[in-house]
Structure 1
């Protein structure tokens, strides 16, 4: 065979290999899309009631209860207006973050420590108006609503928890039955859609699940934040600076990185709540490195993944352990690349939903 003939054979082989790779890619894509559609059909055929655990407890807080007592028993819970005998919204971690920010701006530590003893849950909305932050919608669903509709409502309102309400047939009053969380919904999928999850081979980055740094290090302009739009902090950052990030961006965790952008830890809203429970308001002036020493010993650690990990792998992880977010890293050292929340995962699984579509607020 001549050299020209050998070159022709090589080119034909390359074209054949490229064609085979394209066919494989298309098959993987079709398999992935079919699995996602099957999961959506599954959610449309099951109700929120189906996702209830076999055994669970429900804590409901009266709006007349003071904040300090509420925090001793729970971080997030439905609120009940005993005067009107009706549902009054949700107490969330972000509510407490707003309260901390309000006290830090307007009062002394001594005043905060005294006032929080009598500050009632019903006054939290006044604090939000004072700070100029958005108030959470008074949303809820019926336990017999489909999981697909419940998931859409969670996405449309940016909520992490959805109260499930029914009516007492005798009195006609509202009854708080349970609370559906993003985690519970995704875990229900991971447990019951095993076959479909095995077909979800496409990478998280390709599916655009999560938030990633806008530019690689090599393309950064002088003075440009290398981690934009992700909020980050260092071990030397004061705790209150991170509290402000929580409140301003309505986020629940901030990656802690070193000078090279390597993820060394994660500071969460629940870490701040721990300080409030201990009455350690002065700790808000501490550096993150010092505040981490007061962290609960049962902290599960930072869950990391890479952008090339698949959606199926992520859902299998949710099945095995209680995961609320994953930090996306790259390189051997683990440089920050992105962050994935359960909201990101749920938004992809459900599909395109217009924000505010069909949402009725009370």
Structure 2
């Protein structure tokens, strides 16, 4: 029997089909070739034929531009200036929040300076509005379940949950469901640091270890102040939007006062879809 072939013996003593044995050298060579291939290609070159790139004309009305983002299910799109023949910026869900804050929510507000009662919904508590993802109450089955994980969960389970739950982040909680951290889609890029993905097993690596790996690239203060922004279910929609308008804040974890038990998550996209849906 050659060293690169493995025969599987079944429990009844019979032999199954011959399977190739993959050596460490073959694995390392394959990884190097894939890495070299990706290093020599641009993201645009590898865009699948069934994929699409959405660009917005700078002359589009703001309302139409945001509706396109909503309909296409994308958080942002580049802005194309036909006169200059180049991209001149990016429009995102955050811009939607900033525009609302600047022209509708502020005290130097241009349109609603004397008509605060025109938007009474802004004063309602976030729990009274159909926005965000919440833990279902007893007997309640119409809400999408809130995805949460323990720090000991594997990275593989976190990645699977991000896809299955169709969310951009997952709260990481202790045994009492109190907030410890969050794991985001963007945290996956930390695995590319020093080519960490080539020498780790995602089934064995815990979420806590993966987050620690990413902390090396961030200031610990920024990690907590931006990643784990929180709010209470009693906070008004206005207050929530004000916090989401801060640079770097993409979502708020809704927690119980005192215990920090996670009750839900509200994101920029949630607010965006709520107003345009």
- TM norm structure 2: 0.71
- Aligned residue number for residue 73 of structure 1: none
Structure 1 residues 236 and 155: CA distance shift in structure 2, 3 A: same
Aligned partner of 1:139 in structure 2 is 54
2:132 to 205, 210, 218: 210
Cα offset for 1:215? 2.5
Change over 3 Å in CA distance of 1:108–1:307 after alignment to 2: farther
CA distance in 1, matches of 2:163, 2:232: 28
> Contact 1:302/1:327 (CA < 8 Å) preserved in 2?
yes
Q: Are the aligned partners of 2:232 and 2:257 in contact in 1 as well (CA < 8 Å)? A: no
User: 1:108 Cα deviation (Å)?
Assistant: 5.0
The C-alpha deviation readout for 1:29-75, integer Å capped at 9, x for no partner, is xxxxxxxxxxxxxxxxxxxxxxxxxxxxxxxxxxxxxxxxxxxxxxx
Any idea what the Cα deviations from partners look like across 1:288-346, whole Å, max 9, x if unmatched? 11122222333234011122211110222234443101111124211121111111101
Q: Which runs of 5 or more residues in structure 1 are unaligned?
A: 1-106, 127-134, 353-362
Q: Secondary structure at the match of 2:195?
A: coil
| Counterpart check, 1:349 vs 2:275 | yes
Structure 2 partner of 1:318: 244
CA RMSD of aligned residues (A): 2.8
Alignment correspondent of 1:115:
34
Contact 1:283 1:291 in 2 (8 A): no
CA distance in 2, matches of 1:283, 1:185: 40
**1:231-250 to 2 correspondences below 5 Å:** 231-250=147-166
Greater shift, 228-237 or 316-325, is seen at 316-325
Does the 8 Å CA contact 2:127/2:233 hold for their aligned counterparts? yes
Give distance in 2, aligned partners of 1:162 and 1:207. 28
CA shift, 1:117, in A, is: 2.5
CA distance in 1, matches of 2:158, 2:207: 9
Q: For structure 2, list consecutive stretches of 5 or more residues without a partner in the other structure.
A: 1-25
Partner of 1:27: none
Deviations 1:68-100 (A, max 9, x none): xxxxxxxxxxxxxxxxxxxxxxxxxxxxxxxxx
Name the structure, 1 or 2, with higher relative contact order (CA <8 Å, separation 6+): 1
Is 2:72 the counterpart of 1:157?
Answer: yes
Would you say 1:186 and 2:108 are equivalent positions?
no
Question: How many residues align structurally?
Answer: 226
CA contact (8 A) 1:137 1:157 kept: no
Structure with the bigger percentage of helix: 1
